[in-house]
Structure 1
């Protein structure tokens, strides 16, 4: 029996081994079959896609776990498809449902269009679905709420319409919900109040409306709320103070009302608050000074009242403070000048008074300061460029006094200086022309005196210079119009003497020149016609003499030409009215003679734009008579007396005879010139409001701040550029933010 038992033992072990081998082989066979099925399904998916770049051409040539965008687990089962940015289009077939281990589908940044395939929201094992930045449209299909493990969902940058998918409230593991940049409408579903693990909520840039649901502020895991650029109304609930993990809050551009809840100041890790572009009223809560982590605070374009709370000076990490376009009053708190990290300060278009903190910029990395359109006074702080980072200094429409700090002339980072319409005095600082980044210099409407510094003509970057309506004297720098980048130069309403600069070798960009209301004399340089981009030339109310340069008639861009109230003589060039772009011409109150050409614009010109030239006739004026040419000839002879010594005595005798025979006519001419040419009479009442009114239609050629740098809430806050002075609504406000 012992022998019998021993003989059975090997048989038993062989049986067990054989059985185990069958099980293992069966398992291996099933695994192979499964992985083979996965590969087949991938190939079926590829067959439904349009792969214009051939990104998936490697599918099928090697084990499928090595195919582009395919991720597998240790058993070879497909767990992820990442096909982002491959320019794919076509359809995602139902074969994707056969990938039973699939947890992640990423189709971001492709060219898919039409409705979202229902199969993509029906994969029960999904933890991540990202279909962002495609062209999917229509209503979002129901089904994601059944994905019990779904943690990350992103459909931003598509064209979905209709209500938000309410069944997402059943995906209680969800941490990221991002549907920004679509056309979803309606309200935020109450079911989203069940998403207790949600950290990121992105609803911005849709057509959502209604009040913010209270349940939203029970989601205490929230770290980022980005729901701006919608049509939400009503107040911000006080329950927002419960979101202790909130770091980023963006509710900008909507219809939110009511005061900012003081409870917002209870959030210890909050670093960004964007509430701009709503209808929020009331005062700024002093409790915001408790937000010790705050880096960016933008409450602009609302209806906030009261004073700027001094408690904001406690925000030691603040980089950006934007309170522009509100109804704030009172002083700028002195502590704002001590914020150690402040880079951007925007307070424009309020009713703030008093001085700026004298310490502003001295120990701060200040890059952009816009306090325009307030009632601020006192000196401009001398240390604004203390860190050497200041790019924009926007002070216009205030009551700042004293000189322009000479330290600005050494601020090599400056791009824009806009300080027009203040009460600044003293000289224009020298060396501004050596600032190699300075693009815009606006000092109009102040009390500046002295000369225009010669070094301005050395600039290689200035495109816009406006020194109008000051008390500047002396002659213009000879090469001021030769700055190669210069588009606009205005120095109207000063006391400038000498001639119009005739060194014009670099005027290839010049589009607008306004030197009106000065004491300029001499001839108008014909070389101005070489400025091929010149669209607006305004030289009225000076003492310019000689003839109208004939080359003006061929200037390709000249649209506005105002030479009125000067001492010009001779005839109007015969082809001036046919200048290619001319739309407005005024030569009134000069000494022009002869017939008015009946060409182009001159056929329909207003007689007022020719008035005050008794020697002109014909065209829109009374017809020329036999006596008119003789009168014109006498005026011409009289104007040549100073220049022709050889016939001087003969001309004097002629003039004497003329006086003897027609003294009344001569006396009339003298009185006329005294009234209209030498500064008397009703022409004195035509004071220019800003020295630029005649060229308003052409400011686009010089690209205002708003247009060139388009609306600082530029698209990245610290780099923001800022606005033109055009109010706080719509495109105008965005333009000021861009361009100021």
Structure 2
């Protein structure tokens, strides 16, 4: 009995223990649930406090408060319901970020990219110790950058680019040794790059471009062997690119453009096998291009333009089988272009403008490449233009001006439907302007001036629906202009000066709605100036000088709203200057010199102060800046009188001379007759003469005619 009672007592104690444990567990669970609910309620309240201090013009946060906070837009939570991320990017938000954000104890990510925040960056944002990602890029934050990010031991991504911070770079960021991305591009940070950044051994992306940084590049920067991208251009650094850059074996992208760097390009740059992009343009880098760059088998883009590089382009460049862009323009390079450049299988852009390169373009250039843009202008290149430049059908720009290229323009270009710009002026190209260029539906600019082209201007140019600029000046072109050449709907400039064009100025103008410049000077054009040119409402410059144009200046020119330059000098124009021409709304320069214009110069607008040289060579013009028409009348009469007096003197001289000659001849003839009579009759004649007296001889009939007198007259005997 006692044993049974003892057993029952033991079982009862165990039962009561289970009951007590279960109740305790329930109480603990209830207490925990209560605490968790309180915590999440607190975070929801903090989020609502943040929303209340923001300006939300797009209503992006209007859903906050209507559901559990983990479902609110831009809010990210962990499995316990704690807020770990706040992503409010691109919502156009502004206002202030309150200190309530510090209450989000599990917050690891704050992304405010692409909003409209201004003023100082709240210190609370950089004081969240749990942050791994901090992005406030593309806002209007200004002033000093608050300290604190260096204490974020887990910070991996920091982006404050595209703001207006004016401060030294935050030195304490160097203590965030887990950092992989550091981006403060596009601000106003100044001073030097802190040496403390040398501790960021996990850094893969360094973006400091577009600030006011100065000083030499610190050696510590090139100890960051994890770096994959360096973008530090558009600053004001000094000194060279350190040879230590060769340590960055993982570097793929290097941008040090426009940053004041000097010295040579280090050969060690050729030791970076992963390098895909090198932008060093716009510095003061000199010396030769290292041949070691030919070792960069992964290189896709190489831009060394706008520096002081000398010497030749190294042949090793032809080893860069992945190269798509090669830009060496605006340097001091000389010598030939390596022929292997024409064999680069992926080359799309080749820019060699403004060097001293000689020799031909590689003959194979473009033949087996997806070439899109070639600019070899302003060098001393010669030889023919390669025929295969557009074989891939991708060429959009062919820029060859200011060289010595010879031979014809390749006919293959007329099938290059991708071509947008053809600029080959100031060379020695000959032959005809290729036909079918007007059928290239994308061709916008055609510049062939200053060559030795001959023949006609192709009629099909007038068929273009895309050309805006045509310059065929200073060639040897003949024949008439295509009748509809000025009616191209997109045409803004047409120039064919300095040729031997004949015929008239085209009068089939269409709407000429875009035409702003027309230069046909220095040709052999004839006929009247089409009055229809006045319908070209945007025409600002009309230059027709040195032709054989006749007729009058169209009255309608005075009403052209955009006309600022009008040069009609050295033609055969007649009539008067239109009375209101000087009052043209935009007219700034007018020349009608050396024509046959007559009448008064209108005293209006520009004509009141026009240079008399711009009216010279028109004897019939008067008034305005020329001698007045009324004042010139007496001078004209005086001049006429002088001319009349001179003529009178000449005529009088003729009459006197003839009279004297007649008298001389008559006297001689009379003397001969008298002598003969005297000789025949002796003294009788003499006595008779004495009886008759001395006056009787004046009334004797003369025995000679006027014809005999005229025969005696010679030019030498006439008084001048």
Normalised-by-shorter TM-score class:
0.7 to 0.9
Give 2:547's match in structure 1, choosing from 509, 520, 542: 542
Give 2:474's match in structure 1, choosing from 466, 469, 476: 469
2:146 is matched with 141
Give 2:509's match in structure 1, choosing from 492, 496, 504: 504
1:22 is displaced (CA, Å) by 2.4
1:630 is displaced (CA, Å) by 13
2:130 is matched with 125
User: What root-mean-square deviation, in Å, do the aligned CA atoms of Structure 1 and Structure 2 show?
Assistant: 1.8
Give 1:403's match in structure 2, choosing from 399, 404, 408: 408
- Matched ranges for 1:292-691 at <5 A: 292-624=297-629
| Stretches of 4+ aligned residues off by more than 3 angstroms | 625-632
2:633 and 2:406 map into 1 onto residues whose CA distance is 55
Give the 3-state SS of the residue equivalent to 2:500 in structure 1: coil
Give the 3-state SS of the residue equivalent to 1:567 in structure 2: coil
* TM-score w.r.t. length of structure 1: 0.85
2:41 and 2:624 map into 1 onto residues whose CA distance is 93
2:515 and 2:623 map into 1 onto residues whose CA distance is 35
- Matched ranges for 1:42-121 at <5 A: 42-121=47-126
Give the 3-state SS of the residue equivalent to 1:384 in structure 2: coil
1:576 is displaced (CA, Å) by 1.1
* TM-score w.r.t. length of structure 2: 0.87
Give 2:177's match in structure 1, choosing from 161, 169, 172: 172
1:255 is displaced (CA, Å) by 0.5
Give the 3-state SS of the residue equivalent to 1:265 in structure 2: helix
Asked whether the 8 Å contact 1:615–1:628 carries over to 2, the reply is: no
Give the 3-state SS of the residue equivalent to 2:501 in structure 1: coil
Gaps of 5+ in 1: 633-657, 665-740
1:626 is displaced (CA, Å) by 8.8
> Cα–Cα, structure 1 residues 394 and 14, in superposed 2: closer, same or farther, change >3 Å?
same
1:235 and 1:273 map into 2 onto residues whose CA distance is 16
1:27 is displaced (CA, Å) by 2.0
2:697 is matched with none
Number of residue-to-residue matches in the alignment: 638
* Residues 366-392 of structure 1 deviation map (CA, whole Å, 9 limit, x = unaligned): 011001100100000000001001000
1:202 is matched with 207
2:62 and 2:391 map into 1 onto residues whose CA distance is 59
Give the 3-state SS of the residue equivalent to 1:621 in structure 2: coil
1:121 and 1:145 map into 2 onto residues whose CA distance is 9
Asked whether the 8 Å contact 1:342–1:364 carries over to 2, the reply is: yes
1:20 is displaced (CA, Å) by 2.2
Give the 3-state SS of the residue equivalent to 1:201 in structure 2: strand
> Cα–Cα, structure 1 residues 139 and 626, in superposed 2: closer, same or farther, change >3 Å?
closer
1:282 and 1:212 map into 2 onto residues whose CA distance is 20
Asked whether the 8 Å contact 1:343–1:368 carries over to 2, the reply is: yes
Gaps of 5+ in 2: 1-5, 638-643, 651-720
Q: Does 1:247 align with 2:252?
A: yes
* Residues 553-591 of structure 1 deviation map (CA, whole Å, 9 limit, x = unaligned): 111111111111111111111111111111111111111
Q: Does 1:11 align with 2:11?
A: no
2:143 and 2:632 map into 1 onto residues whose CA distance is 82
2:266 and 2:512 map into 1 onto residues whose CA distance is 56
1:575 and 1:92 map into 2 onto residues whose CA distance is 67
1:25 is displaced (CA, Å) by 2.2
**RCO higher in structure (CA 8 A, sep ≥6):** 1
1:90 is displaced (CA, Å) by 1.0
1:43 is displaced (CA, Å) by 1.1
1:52 is displaced (CA, Å) by 2.0
1:623 is displaced (CA, Å) by 2.4
Give 1:31's match in structure 2, choosing from 29, 36, 50: 36
